[in-house]
């Protein structure tokens, strides 16, 4: 039952919430992750001898904040009710 009924229900709910908050997500969450990845890539390339820029971007992608953390932080800054955050 969970494999058949749950994914479509979760997808529909998640899609509605994403579409409702799309502007906040696209203006905050994506740039935060991209900027963090770029800063980590440039700093690691400058500080670690022999560390290529492509490895720096890989490290930046691993270390940059996950989407769940970014979204939760953004939702708290936008004053979304706690029932919407899941906390």
CB atoms within 10 A of CB 32: 17
> What pLDDT sits at residue 70?
63
Identify the segments of the chain with pLDDT beneath 50.
87
> What pLDDT sits at residue 87?
47
> What pLDDT sits at residue 74?
66
Burial class (CB in 10 A: 0-12, 13-18, 19+), 18: exposed
Q: Cβ(52)–Cβ(70) under 8 Å?
A: no
> What pLDDT sits at residue 39?
92
> What pLDDT sits at residue 20?
80
* Helices 30-47 and 67-77: angle between axes, nearest 10 degrees: 120
Distance, in Å, from the CA atom of 73 to the CA atom of 67, rounded to the nearest integer, reads 10
> What pLDDT sits at residue 2?
65
Sequence ranges of the domains in the chain: 28-79
């Amino acid at each position: 039952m969970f494999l058949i009924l749950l994914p479509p229900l979760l997808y529909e709910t998640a899609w509605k919430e994403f579409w409702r908050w799309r502007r906040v997500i696209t203006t905050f969450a994506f740039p935060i992750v991209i900027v963090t990845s770029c800063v980590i890539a440039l700093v690691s390339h400058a500080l670690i001898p022999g560390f290529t820029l492509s490895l720096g971007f890989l490290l930046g992608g691993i270390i940059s904040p996950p989407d769940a953390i970014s979204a939760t932080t953004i939702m708290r800054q936008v004053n979304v009710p706690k029932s919407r955050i899941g906390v």
